Amino acid sequence: MQALCITKPGGPDVLAICAVPTPEPKRDELLVRVRVAGLNRADTLQRRGHYPPPPGYPEDIPGLEYAGDVVAAGTDVRRFRAGQRVFGLTGGGAQAEYLTIPET
């Protein structure tokens, strides 16, 4: 999949489209095809090297806000199914074609 990647700390010129593996949902996660992602101050601070993402989230792919469609669900997921629309906040990685999110 493609994602917007931070190649090094700096201004907008350090951003590049890069190929990264499509994430696999864990038992309690959804795989979401991102249709829209927000851009906020935390993303610009991360790009400049001043806002590390929480543990477990990509350090080089910004994006905290997303909206999209569920394309797959882990074996323990009960409330969502493929095709449903979702939106929300995540710890990072929303500036990509796909991301995984917890069901809760």
Give per-residue pLDDT as tens, 49-58.
999 999 999 9
pLDDT at res. 45: 96
Write the CA distances from 55 to 28, 59, 92, integer angstroms.
Answer: 18, 9, 10
Low-confidence ranges of the chain (pLDDT < 50): none
Question: What is d(CA 38, CA 64) in angstroms, rounded to the nearest whole number?
Answer: 7
pTM of the predicted model as reported, rounded to 2 decimal places: 0.92
Q: Could you tell me the two tokens for 2? A: 């493609």
Cα–Cα distance for residue pair 99/104, rounded to 1 Å: 15
pLDDT score recorded for residue 29: 97
pLDDT score recorded for residue 104:
81
